[in-house]
């Protein structure tokens, strides 16, 4: 499973916890002031991926619905801050 931010950058999910944010400790960093330093995490077990918002300031939506947790699927569109990430299952 990979995440594509539309700018040509992709991030291959690792098994375990994957943090997305603009902070130095995020595995997938987004240089977006609307994104919290530790905005959300995706827990991936090699088959399924569960997104959890980490009490971010501006929240997270998946497919235009505000979420705190979401089971990700191919084609889901994650919005955080001014950024959009598309989920791709390979």
* Per-residue pLDDT tens over the stretch 19-50: 999 999 999 999 999 999 999 999 999 999 99
Distances (CA, A) of 88 to 23, 27, 45, 72: 24, 17, 16, 10
Does this model's pTM top 0.95? My answer is no
* Confidence at residue 6, expressed as pLDDT on a 0 to 100 scale: 73
Query: Considering only CA atoms, which of 52, 46, 47 is closest in space to residue 19?
Result: 52
**Which pLDDT band, with edges at 50, 70 and 90, does 7 fall under?**
confident
Checking if the pLDDT of 5 tops 80, the result is no
Give pLDDT tens digits for 48-82: 999 999 999 999 999 999 999 999 999 999 999 99
Is 2-88 a CATH 1.20.1300.10 domain? Answer: no
């Amino acid at each position: 499973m990979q995440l594509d931010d539309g700018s040509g950058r992709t991030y291959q999910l690792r098994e375990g916890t994957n943090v997305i944010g603009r902070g130095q400790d995020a595995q997938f960093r987004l240089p977006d002031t609307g994104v919290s330093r530790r905005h959300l995490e995706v827990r991936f077990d090699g088959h399924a991926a569960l997104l959890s918002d980490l009490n971010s300031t501006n929240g997270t939506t998946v497919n235009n619905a505000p979420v705190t947790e979401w089971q990700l699927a191919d084609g889901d569109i994650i919005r955080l801050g001014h950024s959009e990430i598309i989920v791709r299952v390979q």
